[in-house]
Amino acid sequence: MRRAAVAGRVPKLRAHQLSAGAHALGIAQRFHVLQRRHPIPRMQTALAIGATWVALTVGFEVVMGRLVSRKAWQEMLADYDVRTGHVRPLVMIWMLIGPEVMRRLEPPDDESET
């Protein structure tokens, strides 16, 4: 999607940042929907869900990057270097805490009616 929307229109780093922002918004929307349908009962459960999402995402990126695209480790790790303007770690932090944030923002239906 990033290539179709912004490739050639903005610098590569800015495209990565915009893509990460869109990804974070999409994740927030998904967390919201999931919390409404299947409320998370406890903070520990929410953080376990977030940690699972992070682990699966990083695992997917490693498989795709190393085994499919044949990228070097340094090239893959560059997307996680906030010192160079990359915001991928912020998306991972959001993915970790997002279920808990939504759990706190979306009370169960029986509580919201009182």
What is the residue type of 62?
Answer: V
Q: Is residue 113 part of a domain?
A: no
How many domains does the chain fold into? 1
Q: Is residue 114 part of a domain?
A: no
Torsion of CA 99, 105, 107, 108, to 10 degrees: -40
Q: What angle do CA 45, 20, 63 make, to 5 degrees?
A: 75
Q: Is residue 62 part of a domain?
A: yes
Q: Is residue 112 part of a domain?
A: no
Angle, nearest 10°, between helix axes 43-62 and 88-105? 150
- For the chain, the distance separating the N- and C-terminal CA atoms, rounded to the nearest angstrom, is 43
Considering the entire predicted model, what is its pTM? 0.81
Domain range spanning residue 101?
2-107
For position 113, what pLDDT does the model report?
Answer: 43
Residues with Cβ within 8 Å of 71's Cβ and at least 6 positions away in sequence, in order, are 65
Read off the tokens for 57: 């995402």
For position 7, what pLDDT does the model report?
Answer: 64
Are 65 and 71 within 8 A, CB to CB? yes
- Mind listing the pLDDT tens digit of every residue in the chain (114 residues)? 556 666 677 888 888 898 899 999 999 999 999 999 999 999 999 999 999 999 999 999 999 999 999 999 999 999 899 999 999 999 999 999 999 999 999 876 665 443
